Amino acid sequence: MKKTLFLILLLVFTFSCNKKKEELTPLNAPMKYGETMGRAIKKAKAMDEILYLKNKINTFQIQEGRYPNSLEELVEKGYIEKLPEPPEGMKFYYNP
């Protein structure tokens, strides 16, 4: 009895773990493309903002002779008008 129950549970577990990814079909391709492009745009915007901040941090370091203590110091000293908003679901971390 225990062996039978174990085999049934093993089969259920095996088949439930073998779920395939949703196949790409002409009907769902536009949706998948849109999702992929949305993620790519989000990453590109994040990289653009990171490079912008990195450039301003380097400018600060060259002119002040040290790195800023925080990103807010870039605003206080006039290197940027305001901190850019990170993309949704992301945060900027700065560790001098």
Helix (H, G, I), strand (E, B) or coil at 18: coil
- The rounded percent of the chain whose pLDDT value lies above 90 is 34
Q: Which domain holds residue 69?
A: 35-96
Residue of higher predicted confidence among 8 and 79:
79
Most confident of 2-11, 44-53, 73-82: 73-82
Residue 36 gets the label, from left (phi > 0), alpha (psi -120 to 50) or beta, of: alpha
Where is average pLDDT lowest: 16-25, 46-55, 60-69, 71-80? Answer: 16-25
Give me the pLDDT at residue 3, please: 47
The domain total for the chain is 1
Q: Where are the beta strands (DSSP E) in 35-91?
A: none
Residue 86's nearest CA partner among 51, 31, 49, 37 is 49
Residue 62 lies in a domain: yes
Residue 86 lies in a domain: yes
Q: What is the pLDDT of residues 21-50, one digit of tens each?
A: 678 787 877 888 888 898 898 888 888 988
Neighbours of 25 (CB within 10 A): 8
- The rounded percent of the chain whose pLDDT value lies above 70 is 78
59 confidence band (pLDDT: 50, 70, 90): very high
SS3 sequence, 21-33? CCCCCCCCHHHHH
Residue 23 lies in a domain: no
Residue 72 lies in a domain: yes
